Amino acid sequence: MSANVVITGQGIVSAIGIGAEAVLDALRHGRTGIGPMRYLGSSHHELPVGEVDLSNEQMKAMLGIESSREVSRTSLMGMLALRQAVDEARIAHLKHSRPATRVVLVSGTTVGGMDITERHFGELLDGDYTHLDSLRQHDCGSSTELMAAHIGLFDEATTISTACSSAANAIILGARLLEAGQADVVVAGGTEALSLFHLNGFNSLQILDTQRCRPFDDSRAGLNLGEGAAFVVMEREGDAATRQAHVLGYLTGYGNACDAFHQTASSPDGEGAYRAMTQALEMAGLQPRDIHYVNAHGTATPNNDLSESAALLRVFGNDLPPVSSTKCYTGHTTSASGSIEAVICLLAMRHGFVPANLGWATAMPGGITPSLGIEHHVIDHVMCNSFGFGGNDSSLVFSRQATNAADAALADVDVKVLAEVDIADDEQLVDIRNYVKPLEARRMGKIMKSSLLASLKALQQAGIETPDAIVTATAWGCLEYSERLLEQLRDEGEVLLKPTYFMQSTHNTISSNIAMRLKCHGYNVTYSHGAQSLQWAMRDAEMLLRSGRCKTVLVGLHDEMTPTLRQLLQHLGIEVAPSSFHSKAIVLSC
């Protein structure tokens, strides 16, 4: 089976336009979409944002959804982008013409339906259950399922939640499913709406600039949050050729590594980023000098841009191609940024230009000098970087033509369970003291402790110090801390939220906490797709083992339940496990 993966469709919804044409026009004319807030009802008017210039009502009208129906903005934007991608690739009728075609949706998100939850959480706490149904859209997986149902084309759907690299990891999973022959068409990307929850959360981390962001500039003072969605249609080259699909580009390489350094900061030498970029180049069979443009993660926080510069200089040395961050156009679209920037890379490659790194004027010590835009620039290979909290770093390489990609067929080997450990009550949790000092555990919520303890015990039983990869499943993430933040928003308004709680509200915190403890720089992802989360994590682990990329994988299922949410879900008739938390760690090998 040919492992060459091609892109045959793209959809994008962003602050600089709806659709690839509009985005291309804005990029070529240096037009930013960052400005005063219009749709998010926040009191922080001092913070510029990159909002999609459509109200929820307008999006519903475009999608043919009844205006009275409440749908999360995350799902609405995702549906718009999916529709564009599916239409461009002309795959809507594929299922009828080729009945055996397996079409999979892989979406990345962290916010999910938080925009709806935060709207109604106060009234729900007060016992007013008028909008109880809104909770059905809270978790990440349900936002993906809602999009899949609207498009009505998918045999399977899943959700990846690795904070700001979610969409890049969705694209990587898409390629792996195609290479492994587990899917015939994958539509992959991400979607993320702005919410009061994460705007105030980022604000409490003091990394939001009150002016337009200036990536890689000496005066940079933080990021501007943005929102949006983007998806790409991916197929094997042979299949695309058979149905004479128009090819927008090849995904020739990808890398996923964990910085394993800190929950909210990148390491000074950018180890995770370096590994992700190096892996992507290696897989594509390319040398650094072959890359003609790098779309940097470039958030404009003091930490990211310095760390990414260090990593870029380590990888490219004297062969550094033009680099720019396009977050100065779209804002930082967090979980969607990986696919939004992938689409931007495809546009840059096909139309032969480098988008300008707006707002840059002064070099920073130790920093790269970004491109201020090149109108005519032949790009054969482009690299797209996406780094997330917890050090979930990913890098993609797109090319105009196939490169010498390695054969990625899966070997027929037996996958063995070396150890399995469950932690589900407070008594067992006391054991954490034997592994972690109280000072080190000061910020860990219950689920962080149980996941770490179960993982350390399982690895100990398996006789493995550091696994090659960590694949985590969680339907709800760190629910306890998220709920406390929602309560704080209700009780105190938009004040500085407790940073400790916010940094643990991203689902991938669990997996990266384990990676940090184990100094595990290997592949690291988190699935958040409801009751199917573990199933997907196991499937991923098995693909890693059977592809020969890994010898050992630590898989985990970690979830917790709060008394408040338990009560609300029971009113909804949703069954909830009896324990307040449950961690399952499994060590797999082949």
Q: Is there binding between residue 313 and another protein (CB under 8 A)? A: no
CB 206 to another protein: min, Å: 5
Q: Is there binding between residue 205 and another protein (CB under 8 A)? A: yes
Nearer to another protein, 438 or 463 (CB): 438
CA distance 489 to 291: 45
CA distance 18 to 52: 8
Tokens of 363: 């070099």
CA distance 271 to 521: 8
Q: Is there binding between residue 499 and another protein (CB under 8 A)? A: yes
CA distance 396 to 253: 6
> Which residue out of 120, 138, 332, 558 is catalytically annotated?
332
Binding piece for another protein, criterion CB under 8 A, among 148-156, 198-206, 351-359, 507-515: 198-206
Nearer to another protein, 8 or 203 (CB): 203
Nearer to another protein, 179 or 483 (CB): 483
Binding piece for another protein, criterion CB under 8 A, among 99-107, 236-244, 259-267, 526-534: 259-267
CB 454 to another protein: min, Å: 21
User: Helix 533-546 crosses helix 166-179 at what angle (to 10 degrees)?
Assistant: 60
CA distance 102 to 183: 5
> Which residue out of 297, 381, 507, 521 is catalytically annotated?
297
Q: Which residue has the tokens 């915190």?
A: 509
Binding piece for another protein, criterion CB under 8 A, among 26-34, 141-149, 385-393, 437-445: 437-445
Radius of gyration of the chain (CA): 22
> Which residue out of 140, 150, 164, 381 is catalytically annotated?
164
CB 295 to another protein: min, Å: 27
Mind giving me the DSSP string for 16-42? TEESHHHHHHHHHTT----BS-SSS--
Tokens of 314: 């380590």
CB 155 to another protein: min, Å: 42
Q: Is there binding between residue 512 and another protein (CB under 8 A)? A: no
Q: Which of 39, 49, 360 is nearest to 210 (CA)?
A: 49
Instruction: Quote the strand ranges of 291-332, DSSP E.
Output: 293-295, 323-324
Nearer to another protein, 265 or 572 (CB): 265
Nearer to another protein, 377 or 443 (CB): 443
Nearer to another protein, 272 or 355 (CB): 272
Query: Which one of 442, 463, 573, 575 is in contact with another protein (CB under 8 A)?
Result: 442
CB 487 to another protein: min, Å: 15
Does residue 332 carry a catalytic annotation? yes
Query: Which one of 134, 142, 195, 263 is in contact with another protein (CB under 8 A)?
Result: 263
Q: Which of 521, 234, 251 is nearest to 391 (CA)?
A: 521
Tokens of 242: 């058979």
Beta-sheet pairing, 249-258 with 392-399: antiparallel
CB 433 to another protein: min, Å: 10
Query: Which one of 438, 463, 573, 578 is in contact with another protein (CB under 8 A)?
Result: 438
Q: Which residues pair with 324 in a beta bridge?
A: 295
CB burial class (10 A; 0-12, 13-18, 19+) of residue 465?
A: exposed
Q: Is there binding between residue 262 and another protein (CB under 8 A)? A: yes
Binding piece for another protein, criterion CB under 8 A, among 71-79, 125-133, 262-270, 403-411: 262-270
Alpha-carbon torsion 47, 50, 53, 55, what sign?
A: negative
Query: Which one of 62, 265, 402, 429 is in contact with another protein (CB under 8 A)?
Result: 265
Q: Is there binding between residue 264 and another protein (CB under 8 A)? A: yes
Nearer to another protein, 438 or 578 (CB): 438
Q: Is there binding between residue 45 and another protein (CB under 8 A)? A: no
CB 535 within 8 Å of CB 273:
no
How many residues are recorded in the chain?
590
Residues 6+ apart with CB under 8 A from 311: 269, 270, 271, 273, 274, 277
Does residue 384 carry a catalytic annotation? no
Query: Which one of 44, 443, 517, 549 is in contact with another protein (CB under 8 A)?
Result: 443
Per the rule left: phi > 0, alpha: psi between -120 and 50, beta: everything else, 4 is: beta
Q: Which of 509, 505, 525, 507 is nearest to 517 (CA)?
A: 509
Query: Which one of 44, 102, 136, 498 is in contact with another protein (CB under 8 A)?
Result: 498
Q: Which of 385, 82, 81 is nearest to 253 (CA)?
A: 385
How many residues of this chain interact with another protein, rule: CB under 8 A? 18
Q: Is there binding between residue 44 and another protein (CB under 8 A)? A: no
Instruction: Decide: helix, strand or coil at residue 84.
Output: helix
Q: Is there binding between residue 496 and another protein (CB under 8 A)? A: yes
Binding piece for another protein, criterion CB under 8 A, among 35-43, 499-507, 542-550, 571-579: 499-507
CB 484 to another protein: min, Å: 13
Distances (CA, A) of 162 to 256, 312, 481: 11, 22, 17
Question: What residues line the site for another protein (CB under 8 A)?
Answer: 204-206, 262-265, 438-439, 441-443, 495-496, 498-500, 503
Please identify every residue annotated as catalytic: 164, 297, 332
